[in-house]
Amino acid sequence: MNALTKPTHTPAPWIAVTQGPFIATPDNKVIAKVVCMSNEGNVLNCQTASPADYETIGNALLIAAAPELLEALEDAQQALAHALHRLKDDSSFSTSIALKGAEEKARHAINKAKGGN
């Protein structure tokens, strides 16, 4: 990716297909394959994974939720920024610090999800 291109992602919804496991769109376009790995770093057959390997399925479910999580975080970050602007003169110092910290974390995560640092 060069400095002139802006990363984008496949629009939501994404679905975790646990038989793969892989992430797909509702029209079955595969977005990503999630690989089951042992603690030693060996690729495993996800079809025969033991309960100890279910972490991979959980990862697939979390990845599938990523577009909705990003949208919700963007909404929350905007609401926090608005609240900080409105409350900066009326709120207690500790409340302002907590809101500012949450807004900064949200902004950082959004930036990372969109290809920033």
- Determine the 3-state secondary structure of 82 from DSSP: helix
Asked, for residue 58, whether it belongs to a domain, the answer is yes
Whether residue 83 sits in one domain with residue 58: no
Q: Between the CA of residue 9 and those of 6, 15, 49, 114, what are the distances in Å?
A: 10, 14, 29, 9
Asked, for residue 5, whether it belongs to a domain, the answer is no
Strand-strand pairing, 43-44 and 36-37: antiparallel
Q: Between the CA of residue 107 and those of 8, 77, 84, what are the distances in Å?
A: 17, 6, 14
Q: 87 and 96 in contact (C-beta within 8 Å)?
A: yes
**What residues form DSSP beta bridges with 43?**
37
Whether residue 50 sits in one domain with residue 31: yes
- pLDDT tens string 17-55: 877 778 899 999 999 888 777 777 777 666 666 665 677
Alpha helix positions (H), the chain: 55-64, 66-87, 93-113
What's the pTM value of the predicted model, to 2 decimals?
Answer: 0.69
Whether residue 44 sits in one domain with residue 21: yes
- pLDDT tens string 49-87: 666 567 777 788 888 888 988 999 999 888 888 877 777
Asked, for residue 3, whether it belongs to a domain, the answer is no
Please give the structure tokens belonging to residue 107. 């902004």
Asked, for residue 9, whether it belongs to a domain, the answer is no
Note down the domain range covering 103: 68-113
Q: 59 and 36 in contact (C-beta within 8 Å)?
A: no
How many domains does the chain fold into? 2
